[in-house]
Structure 1
């Protein structure tokens, strides 16, 4: 396969048209059109649907764009590494991270990484929604308990638990008691919380009195004594130690895992590898106590 024709196809697909790609790359529009047509002929498939005013990728075109874009980026990075005498991290690193991790740790993490690797240009967005790494151009995505995705690979770099906490002013409940609670997200209907305490399992009937959009707001409301809350261990460890919150019990269920995900490809870029190593350095054992200590240090 002609790599130059493949690169021209990727440029046209990325920019959404021959004219835009020509302006972005400095290559003649006619040349791009001819090279893409030759690529389609060699593959015996149509890569674009050509309309009067619109150019759209076919299903086959989308598949080739996803694979070829990553492949060409790897070739460029490998060539740069060879000519520079090593795999020095450089270039843009685009990361998506969830809201709570961004609020508590991400700012310091990426600042430290930027100081260590000044040739890397970091771009970090905060969002909890699923993202399409290829289409949206992300190099690395951090997510909590993500669904299986065969197009991605990754590693768990942190584990956390959920606990039920409340202000010391809120009396500890007995089995089956109805208690006011603060929830993250839509309040929904009243239900039950089950937890493990020092005395054994405990079930509580909950009465949602506040519904908030972030864990940090839920924690702040719980501190004020509005109601009990279910929160990550790492987020409230400092408050429990200081007596601002009281631990009622640990929530039953699987642990919370933070994953670092990246497109499944044979060659991992130097900048992504360096950031993965930096996460491992920050949280060597991946325990909630390490994240709690990291959060506490940032608040000093």
Structure 2
């Protein structure tokens, strides 16, 4: 297989068209078109559906793009490593991370990584949606309780749990009475099932505030507006100093933060270095460890 033709196919697939790839790389559009046509002829496969205005990968083209991108990146990194005479990570590293983890910890993590590996160009995008890391060009994604994906491998590196907390002056409801005031995060259920030393209980809620960010929920709970359902790592220091009190743990499995990537076999030096950096930051992966890291 012609590696130059494969590289040109990858460029066109990545940029979504011959014209866009030509403008982004400075390569002649005609050359890119010819190279892709030669690759299709060599493979006896149609890799793109060519419409009047749009270019779309075929099923075979998508499969080739997913594998070729990683292979070409590995070849490029290997060549760069050999040329530099060492194995120090270098090049671009794109990561997608969830909002709350980014707001509380990712800035410090990214800064430490940049100081340790100045030849890596780290780019972090913050979003809670399930990105398609192959299509969108991410090297690594961090996700909360991700759904299984046979194309990805990874591990849980942090765990947290949800608790219900409130200011000391707010009375906890008795029996099945609704809580007098609750700060509700967008998407929260309208009843909280909690575990306490006395057993399980259900708290019906009547929200006085509905907020889209857990940071905002925590700040409102701190101000005494109402009770809130929050990760314990976010309120650990408040519970320790008595600013907030613990009503109970949410009765559900712990929250797990996972690092996900396409393949162990072709794991780049950049991704390996970042995974090691996370393990150094959170060797045990406990909520208390995350709380201590946030509070530093």
TM score, norm. by length of structure 2 = 0.94
In the alignment, does 2:248 pair up with 1:249? Answer: yes
Whole-angstrom CA distance in 1 between matches of 2:129 and 2:53: 32
Please tell me whether residue 101 in structure 1 is matched to residue 111 in structure 2. Answer: no
Q: Which residue in the other structure is 1:81 paired with?
A: 81
Stretches of structure 1 that go unaligned for 5 or more consecutive residues are none
Aligned residues: 295
Distance 1:72 1:32 in 2: 17
Q: Deviations over 1:131-188 (max 9, x none)?
A: 0101111111111101111111111110111111011110133232310221110467
What are the residue-to-residue correspondences of 1:50-61 with 2, within 5 Å?
50-61=50-61
The reply to whether residue 181 of structure 1 matches residue 195 of structure 2 is: no
Q: Note if contact 1:239-1:245 (Cα within 8 Å) is conserved in structure 2.
A: yes
CA deviation vs aligned residue, 1:7-49 (integer Å, no higher than 9, x gap): 1111222233334434444444333322211211121111122
Q: Distance in 2 between matches of 1:194 and 1:20?
A: 52
1:256-276: CA deviation from partner (whole Å, max 9, x where unpaired): 000011112512111111110
SS in 2 for 1:129: coil
Q: Which residue of 1 aligns with 2:199?
A: 200
- Report the equivalent of 1:33: 33
Partner SS for 2:164 = strand
Structure 1 residues 147-156 or 29-38, which shifts more?
29-38
SS at match of 1:150: coil
Q: Is the contact between residue 70 and residue 266 of structure 2 (CA under 8 Å) also seen in structure 1? A: no
Question: CA offsets per residue over residues 193-241 of structure 1, 9 Å max, x none?
Answer: 2212122222222212211101111111111222211110100001111
**Deviation at residue 68 of structure 1 after TM alignment:** 0.8
> Structure 2: how far apart are the matches of 1:195 and 1:53?
55
Q: 1:25 to 1:193 in 2, by over 3 A?
A: closer
- Alignment-derived partner of residue 233 in structure 1: 232
Q: Say if 1:166 and 1:46 are closer, same or farther in 2 by CA, change over 3 A.
A: same
Match of 1:165 in 2: 165
Q: Which moved more, 1:27-36 or 1:111-120?
A: 27-36
Task: Give runs of aligned pairs for residues 1-300 of structure 1, distance below 5 A.
Answer: 1-179=1-179, 180-186=181-187, 190=190, 192-297=191-296
Change beyond 3 A, Cα 1:187–1:79 = closer
Distance 2:192 2:51 in 1: 56
Instruction: Give the SS at the match of 1:135.
Output: coil
Most deviating of 143-152 and 261-270: 261-270
Gaps of 5+ in 2: none
